Amino acid sequence: MIPVQGFEGQVVAVLGLGRSGLSAARALKAGGAKVVAWDDNPDARARAEAEGLTVRDLSRAGALDGVSALIVSPGIPHLYPRPNPVVAAAWVAGVPVDNDIGLFFRSFAAGFDAYDSPPRVIAVTGSNGKSTTAALIHHLLQEAGRDAQLAGNIGRGVLDIDMPGEGGAVVLELSSYQTELARALTPDIALFTNLTPDHLDRHGGMGGYFAAKRRLFAEGGPDRAVIGVDEDEGRYLANQMAMGAGDDRVIRVSAAQKLTGPGWQVFARKGFLTEWRKGRQMAAIDLRQILGLPGAHNHQNACAAYAACRAMGMAPKVIEQGLHSYPGLPHRSQVIAESEGVLYVNDSKATNVDSALKALLAFDRIRWICGGLEKEGGLAGLQPGLPHVVKAYVIGREAAGFAMQLPGVESETCTTMERAVTAALAEAQPGEVVLLAPAAASFDQYDNFEQRGDDFTSRVKAALEA
């Protein structure tokens, strides 16, 4: 645990008692704060009381009297589409509003003056690829023998981690919800993967969404910034952070173009990762044979992770060895089996058209299991990937309607995962890929995408072992 500094003897309110809220309450208490907590869910309040926390309805008049700070969980809106009433009351009362990420950066460096090599924080944000990039950096550091912990929007809560030792590293995945509100953001290395529309109602539009991501760099002042430059927002951010073309405090990353110039660049083309620095090629890695990182979108993740590890002083050969041993993140282009020339891939996290398209473009001959609770906007965006599909096996309660939106694709309305897996495995030929990339939410049949991916994985493995 990272005890929160600066609130000893003061009353601090915590709104929202999920994973991050409870973690913040514990860390505040460990740092000597007097914690009062609230959640609209009575079960969450009961869990907090069982841990000895004081529960107080923060929505009541005067509930924030004498409170030094309000700590808000990520899922609670504080501005758009409308501020939570407790947050609005804090503004009126002059109570500072923060979150667990702000508390972490406020407290993390306490006592590091005695270290010869202080621990470093690598923070990853962006729209797509955050989880894979953060997990890959963590894996590469551990494979190189470095003390590393993974936290934030993946792994453990940021305040639940152990205080790192000499030369250690903390890798954080940070969502826009987390970066937008944190009052302290001071990573040593900050990464921006890419930007595509998401959570726009929460941020008041695309500009607000990008502004939330940009705070990690503009207010964080990292020693090194790794920035994906395949969209205008990334190019803008890299330009804002660099003092000139040769400023190698900014490492530009691309999976769509060759990058040139006197600065520091890492890019992937035709399956090869290349590092250029000060006009010279420093390293090249063949990514095509790395099963845990298939497709151009994962090659971008590999470039970003490689750049972060190079900024940490790791040698290219050491990074390359670690890339080959990366198993893939569960439910994200995860290779779960290979049998008789057929590859089986679980990408249940592909819950929207954009992420499913990336999965389709990663392979050539696909037996595609898709469908579920369709999101707004339809499926037209999948069109560039459909030529890669040999056949679609559609699941979900609206499977027939989903299949009708896949022009030119042979499809079978399976409805259930059991029928889809049975049919796909029976028809798959050597050289093909059986891919779960639903392009839809899971809630019509499953509690979450993880449960859907686990169902696919268990049925595939059972069938192959039969």
Mean pLDDT of the chain: 93
How much of the chain, in percent, has pLDDT values that exceed 90? 80
pLDDT in tens, 367-393: 999 999 988 778 999 999 999 999 999
Residues of the chain within CATH 3.90.190.20 domain(s) are 334-465
Evaluate if residue 296 carries a pLDDT over 70: yes
What is the per-residue DSSP string for 241-278?
A: H-SSTT-TTEEEEESSS---SSSEEEEEETTEEEEEET
Q: Which CATH class is domain 334-465?
A: alpha beta
Q: CB–CB of 50/26 below 8 Å? A: no
Q: Provide the CATH number for the domain formed by 108-324 in this structure.
A: 3.40.1190.10
Strand ranges (DSSP E) for 242-378? 250-254, 264-269, 272-277, 280-286, 334-339, 342-346, 366-370
Query: Among 205-214, 235-244, 270-279, 375-384, where is mean pLDDT lowest?
Result: 375-384
**Residue given tokens 């990464």 in the structure block:** 191
Band (111; pLDDT cuts 50, 70, 90): low
CA–CA dist 402, 395 (Å, integer): 9
Mean pLDDT over 189-199 rounds to 89
Burial classification of residue 184, based on how many CB atoms lie within 10 Å of its CB (0-12 exposed, 13-18 middle, 19 or more buried): middle
Question: Given the DSSP bridges, would you call strands 334-339 and 342-346 parallel, antiparallel or unpaired?
Answer: antiparallel
Cross-strand bridge partners of residue 434:
344, 367
Evaluate if residue 47 carries a pLDDT over 70: yes
Mean pLDDT over 244-250 rounds to 92
What lies within 8 Å, CB to CB, of 82 at 6+ separation is none
Residues of the chain within CATH 3.40.1190.10 domain(s) are 108-324
Query: Among 18-22, 69-73, 194-198, 270-274, where is mean pLDDT lowest?
Result: 194-198
pLDDT of residue 272: 95
Residue with the larger pLDDT of the pair 198 and 416: 416
Mean pLDDT over 133-138 rounds to 96
pTM: 0.87
Mean pLDDT over 116-144 rounds to 93
| Phi and psi angles of residue 465, each rounded to the nearest 5 degrees, phi first | -90, -10
Q: CB–CB of 31/88 below 8 Å? A: no
Band (194; pLDDT cuts 50, 70, 90): very high
* Of residues 304, 362, 306, 310, the one with CA closest to residue 332: 362
Residues of the chain within CATH 3.40.50.720 domain(s) are 11-98
Mean pLDDT over 282-305 rounds to 91
**DSSP H or E stretch at residue 356:** helix 353-361
Q: How many CB atoms lie within 10 A of CB 113?
A: 7
CA–CA dist 141, 117 (Å, integer): 16
Evaluate if residue 91 carries a pLDDT over 70: yes
Hey, what are 167's tokens? 């030369």
Would you call 330 helix, strand, or coil by DSSP?
coil
Question: Given the DSSP bridges, would you call strands 334-339 and 411-415 parallel, antiparallel or unpaired?
Answer: unpaired
Q: Which CATH class is domain 11-98?
A: alpha beta
**Residue given tokens 């020339």 in the structure block:** 341
pLDDT of residue 112: 72
